[in-house]
Chains A and B, each alone.
Chain A
Amino acid sequence: MTTGHPPPLGPQAALVCVLAGVAYTLAAGRLRRRGDGWPRRRDATFGTGLALLLWGWCGPLPGGPFTEHSARHLLVGMAAPVLLVLARPLTLTLRTLPPGGPRRTLLRVAHSRPAGWLLLPPLAAVLHIGGTWALYRTGLMSLTHHHPPLDVLVHLHMVAAGLLFGFAVCRLDPVRGPRSLPLRAGTLLLAGAAHAVLAKGLYAAGPPGTKFAAGDLHTGAQLMYYGGDAVELLLAAALAVQWYAATGRRYARAAARAGHGAGPRVQRPQA
């Protein structure tokens, strides 16, 4: 069933995805050749994220117009950004770039005060979920139907806000300021609740100024609701694994200090 609504982005977007994939693979290969560890599953995570992004930007999607839109929203704004963030692109870039100019600039940007503000989890959540609320609960969505450039802009904002939210919550890359686990988990909780409420509301009433068939609206809203759950679980698991690894390191250090089962860092040769 085709809808006649063309995908928002075309060949340029596909080119961006392919280039990003090639760059990541080359960089990871370079690290491995020089003897640095870079797990292969990160390559797979990044590749999957790019594939989902490509699909959401350019690919055909089944269902009525709203279901199709909802699937794109899920792929471009939620699933793909989280996977891309989990592959630690910033860390990889910083480790591949030679010391000096671009590397220093990139690090300075990542550690800058404005980046710190943007990456404050609650603010990133407001930009991400707030943007979604604005799209579906104001006349914005009906406007995008009449102005294709606006539609493109909305899709670019989706991926940018999704990436920002992922960076802010996961913090796997070296960005400014540590943020406590309770803050990040609490933000995830509120953002997830706001998303669930929005999806349930769309089930009952579509975005203002648009006319979607009831069945289409219901399928799209349910897709958004359960898709949101899946992404939320992925983010929660990422946080949980971080906590698990960090406490594991703490136990190992404490055990090493107490003198049993000394870790590798402690067993330095006595000069």
Chain B
Amino acid sequence: MDEQRTHARRATEPRRSLAVGAVIGAAVMAAIDEIVFHQILHWHHFYDRSSDGVALLSDGLLHTAELLALVAGFVLFADLRRRDALSPAHARAGLLLGLGAFQLFDGIVDHKLLRLHQIRYGVDVTPYDWAWNLAGLALLLVGAALSVRAARRGPRTP
């Protein structure tokens, strides 16, 4: 493993670049969701009285995981850079994929399937749901298109 890594020292690592970008993207979108909607707009509150203990625990886990993922993502990114193994095109594609995947997962699984929380209370959530999910889908599609383009150009894109 060490030997392989030594030989591949100057080659870029597209898959890893994509994965690291995706980790940062998912963490950033989780942070945006939490900072904008929980803390600034107060659409769902600091303590959401409609959620039970399990939902509260899942919220705590999500919040902590998002912070740790940000730190881990950036240190992995720094590691790729110092080894000249970063493929910027793949990392960009991964970033958008991560952003979109988190948003769509939150919109469909958390909001609709598990019903952990809704975007907003006391109003018709349909327009909010469409806006949130379509924006997530758009990010995901742009990310997919970028990753296809990065793959076509080959791993040695400067």
Give A contacts to B, CB under 8 Å: 185, 188-190, 192-197, 200-201, 203-204, 222, 225, 229, 232-233, 236-237, 239-241, 243-244, 247-248, 250-251, 254-255, 257-258
Assess whether A240 is in contact with B75, with CB atoms less than 8 Å apart. Answer: yes
Does more than half of chain B's interface fall in helix, strand or loop, or is it mixed? Answer: helix
Given A196-B59, A243-B75: A204 and B49 within 8 A (CB)? Answer: yes
User: Which of A188, A200, A254 interacts with B46 by CB under 8 Å?
Assistant: A200
Assess whether B5 is in contact with A189, with CB atoms less than 8 Å apart. Answer: no
Q: CA A190 – CA B64 in complex, angstroms?
A: 8
B154 contacts A by Cβ under 8 Å: no
Given A189-B65, A236-B71: A248 and B57 within 8 A (CB)? Answer: no
User: Which of A190, A229, A241, A244 interacts with B67 by CB under 8 Å?
Assistant: A229
Assess whether A222 is in contact with B67, with CB atoms less than 8 Å apart. Answer: no
Assess whether A197 is in contact with B60, with CB atoms less than 8 Å apart. Answer: yes
Contacts of A201 in B (CB 8 A): 47, 56
Assess whether B60 is in contact with A236, with CB atoms less than 8 Å apart. Answer: no
B40 contacts A by Cβ under 8 Å: no
Q: Which of B16-24, B76-84, B117-125, B136-144 lines the interface with chain A?
A: B76-84
Contacts of B78 in A (CB 8 A): 244
Assess whether A196 is in contact with B68, with CB atoms less than 8 Å apart. Answer: no
Minimum CB–CB distance from B13 to chain A (whole Å) comes to 13
Given A196-B59, A197-B57, A243-B75: A254 and B65 within 8 A (CB)? Answer: no
Known: A185-B72, A193-B57. 16 other contacts (CB 8 A): A188-B68, A192-B68, A193-B61, A193-B65, A196-B60, A196-B63, A197-B56, A201-B47, A203-B46, A203-B47, A204-B49, A232-B68, A236-B68, A239-B71, A240-B74, A254-B6
Given A200-B47, A201-B56, A248-B82: A193 and B5 within 8 A (CB)? Answer: no
Assess whether A196 is in contact with B64, with CB atoms less than 8 Å apart. Answer: yes
Can you list 19 A-B pairs with a CB-CB distance of less than 8 A? A189-B61, A190-B61, A193-B61, A193-B65, A196-B60, A196-B64, A197-B60, A200-B47, A233-B67, A236-B71, A240-B75, A241-B75, A243-B75, A244-B75, A248-B82, A250-B2, A254-B2, A254-B6, A258-B6
Assess whether A251 is in contact with B83, with CB atoms less than 8 Å apart. Answer: yes
User: Which of B3, B59, B72, B82 interacts with A240 by CB under 8 Å?
Assistant: B72
Contacts of B2 in A (CB 8 A): 250, 254
User: Which of A204, A236, A247, A257 interacts with B6 by CB under 8 Å?
Assistant: A257
User: Which of B7, B64, B72, B83 interacts with A193 by CB under 8 Å?
Assistant: B64
Contacts of B149 in A (CB 8 A): none
Q: CA A196 – CA B63 in complex, angstroms?
A: 8
Contacts of B47 in A (CB 8 A): 200-201, 203-204
Assess whether A193 is in contact with B79, with CB atoms less than 8 Å apart. Answer: no
Q: CA A155 – CA B47 in complex, angstroms?
A: 27
User: Which of B6, B7, B60, B72 interacts with A200 by CB under 8 Å?
Assistant: B60
Q: CA A188 – CA B71 in complex, angstroms?
A: 13
